[in-house]
A and B are shown apart, each in its own frame.
Chain A
Amino acid sequence: MLWGIFKKKQEDLLPPLPPAPEERTTIPPIKPIELPEPPELPEFPTLPELPLSLPENIEAQPIIEEQPVTGNIKESRQSFVSMNEYQEVTNQANAIKDRLQEAEHLVKELAEIRTEEEKAFEKWRTLLENLEKKLTYVDTLIAGGEPA
Chain B
Amino acid sequence: MTNVFVKIESYEDIKDVMELSKERLKQAIDLLEKIAELKQKEDAELAVWTDNLNEISANIEDIEKTLKEQ
Contact = CB atoms under 8 A, between A and B. Distances in A.
B3 A78 contact: no
A13 B56 CA distance: 129
Contacts of B9: 78
Interface residues of A, number: 19
Interface in A58-75: 62-67, 69, 74
A82 B3 contact: yes
B5 A66 contact: yes
Q: What does DSSP make chain B's interface, helix, strand, loop or mixed? A: mixed
A143 B56 CA distance: 19
> Which size bracket describes the interface of B in this complex?
10 to 19
Contacts, number: 48
Interface in B1-48: 2-12
Contacts of A76: 11
B58 interface: no
Contact of B11 (A64, A74, A83): A74
Contacts of A74: 11
Contacts of A137: none
A111 interface: no
Nearest to B28: A103
Given A66-B2, A66-B5, A67-B5, A131 B11 contact: no
Given A131-B56, A138-B63, A80 B7 contact: yes
Contacts of B56: 131
Contacts of A41: none
Nearest 8 pairs between A and B by C-beta?
A79-B11, A80-B5, A86-B6, A83-B4, A79-B8, A62-B6, A67-B5, A80-B7
30 contacts: A63-B6, A63-B7, A64-B7, A65-B5, A66-B2, A66-B4, A66-B5, A69-B3, A69-B5, A76-B11, A77-B10, A77-B11, A78-B7, A78-B9, A78-B10, A79-B8, A79-B11, A81-B5, A81-B8, A82-B3, A82-B4, A82-B5, A82-B6, A83-B4, A83-B5, A83-B6, A86-B6, A86-B8, A131-B56, A138-B63
